[in-house]
Amino acid sequence: MVLIASWVLFGLGIAHVLFGIIQFKPQFQAAIAEGFVGKFSESDDRRVAFWFTILGPPIALIGFVAIHSVATQDFSLLKIIGFSLLGTAVVGVLAFPKSPLWLLLLLSPFFILGGYGLIH
């Protein structure tokens, strides 16, 4: 179960990038056409496009680290991942209840329980 949750997290990061590029294509095209550097601070739409998309690689990286942690049975790292995701999800859901951060809230117990060796 923990390995599946790890792959879901990795996939979520990849999906974040792909969805961001597709969803915010006009914002990226305009920023690139204008020279890219410093062009994402000019409007709220561009800031959202940048931050939504740029969060994908760290999410994928955390998923990859979790996959590695499962493979090496690094339980303490799984706990760190789980509690970090839980804290992020709780703050995010409280601040923005209609966000997809509920998925992190659902995934975090798998990493926490896996970190304590209660599930595999």
Looking at the domain assignment, is residue 20 inside a domain?
Answer: yes
Residues of the chain whose pLDDT is less than 70?
Answer: none
Residue 117, φ and ψ in degrees, nearest 5: 75, 20
pLDDT at 42: 82
Whole-number Å distance between alpha carbons of 83 and 75: 12
Tell me which residue range forms the domain holding 104.
Answer: 2-115
pTM, full prediction? 0.92
- Read off the DSSP letter of residue 30: H
Looking at the domain assignment, is residue 120 inside a domain?
Answer: no
How many structural domains does the chain have? 1
Whole-number Å distance between alpha carbons of 61 and 14: 10
